[in-house]
Amino acid sequence: MTGAGRPLREVGEEELIEQIARLVGDRSNRVSIGIGDDAAAWRPRAGHELVITTDTLIERVHFRLEWTDWEALGHKSLAVNLSDIAAMGAIPRLAVVDLAVRGTERDRDIADFYRGVQALARRFGVAIVGGDTTRSPLGVAVSITVIGESPRDGHRLLRRDAGRPGDLIGVTGPIGLAAAGLRVLERGLKTLDGNPVMQEHYHRPQPRVREGLLLRRCGVRAAMDISDGLLGDLQKLCRASGVAAIVDLERVPVPNAIKWAFPDWEEVALRGGDDYELLFAAPPAVFARVARAFARAGLLPPWKIGQLVEAGSAGPIVELRDVTGRCRPADARGFDHFRTG
């Protein structure tokens, strides 16, 4: 979706960078050098450790410009990185944004992209301190690096390899809406009940930064964000922790609109990905502490969807349990860049 404005060939790189700097040039009091120099300089807080993540979004792999607008693309590009910081229980502080475009776009498109980035950054107190713009004749690509921090306060960062048998499995929100939104866009299901909410979750995921902080402070040790599908990501956590998992299918918070709309709703909701909710595992007492902390913070309570168990001879597998108590092996494949599409 291309809007008004001047073609980039008329604007030129130097003026474009000046426009971007005006849009996102808010300065943190600990950023001593920001946009405009060869590198940024930032003073980290004493007694904190740094947490660093990066993600890349490629046109026709992660998004299509005929389905989204530039502002939503900016939002999502930063959101997926903030979600990684949230999954560690850290606080995002800085972001560096690299944007590659064909060169046929207009300066209004680029401005809208950075408005989307900046609006989300401001919500979470993140400073955009630099990046790069370049030409990419084969398509648009976005790569963002986010730096966060976490105090050395006795609470460990959340990790994938810290799950233990007996831990309860939790998620911070509904599962499957983003994948349903993608299905809507792919199949043109514009009259489907729930379509606007599904598309909104696909285009504008909400990183669970507050939830991640509370998980860490409550003593949770094992967590990750759900980017490649609930079952696929739970399988990764199980492998890293050397455990297996049993998921109670009826407890997974899949909205009824998805179950009613798609006969293969398990495929859509459990394997589709792009949820960016947090998946975590904690002992029952810690899980109860999390529920109380979420309530005090005005957040929805976490959903308890199953339990980690000892990995038997079959290894770190994931099983689905129905309402009768019967278990079946789950097809725990998730999104894979090199096996999908």
What's the pLDDT score for residue 75? 98
Rounded Cα gap, residues 144 and 142, in angstroms:
7
Supply 89's token pair: 């229980």
Question: What are the structural domains of the chain?
Answer: 8-151 (3.30.1330.10), 160-329 (3.90.650.10)
Q: Which residues are annotated as a binding site for ATP?
A: 114, 131-132, 160, 227
Please, is 167 exposed, middle or buried when counting C-beta atoms within 10 Å of its C-beta (0-12, 13-18, 19+)? buried
In terms of pTM, does the model score above 0.95?
no
What's the pLDDT score for residue 334? 60
Rounded Cα gap, residues 296 and 91, in angstroms:
20
Supply 191's token pair: 């009259």
Laid out side by side, the sheet with 278-282 consists of 222-225, 278-282, 168-171, 303-310, 243-248, 318-321, 327-329
What's the pLDDT score for residue 26? 61
Q: Which residues are annotated as a binding site for Mg(2+)?
A: 38, 53-55, 84, 132, 225, 228
What's the pLDDT score for residue 12? 72
Q: Which residues are annotated as a binding site?
A: 38, 53-55, 62, 84, 114, 131-132, 160, 225, 227-228, 274, 335
Q: Which residues are annotated as a binding site for substrate?
A: 62, 274, 335
Chain Cα centroid distance, residue 250: 24
Rounded Cα gap, residues 44 and 30, in angstroms:
7
**Long-range CB pairs of 266-271, under 8 A, 24+ apart, other chains included:** 268/176, 268/179, 268/180, 268/183, 269/175, 269/176, 269/179, 269/180, 269/230, 270/175, 270/176, 270/229, 270/230, 270/231, 270/330, 271/179, 271/229, 271/230, 271/231, 271/232, 271/331, 271/333, 271/334, 271/335
What pLDDT tens digit does each residue of the chain (341 aa) get? 555 787 777 777 677 767 777 777 666 677 777 777 777 787 888 899 999 999 999 999 999 999 999 999 999 999 999 999 999 999 999 999 999 999 999 999 999 999 999 999 999 999 999 999 999 999 999 999 999 999 999 899 999 999 999 999 999 999 999 999 999 999 999 889 999 999 999 999 999 999 999 999 999 999 999 999 999 999 999 999 999 999 999 999 999 999 999 999 999 999 999 999 999 999 999 999 999 999 999 999 999 999 999 999 999 999 999 999 999 999 866 656 555 55
Supply 250's token pair: 């009826």
Laid out side by side, the sheet with 91-101 consists of 48-58, 141-151, 91-101, 127-135
What is the SS3 assignment for 88? coil
Nearest CA to 74 out of 177, 7, 148, 1 is that of: 1
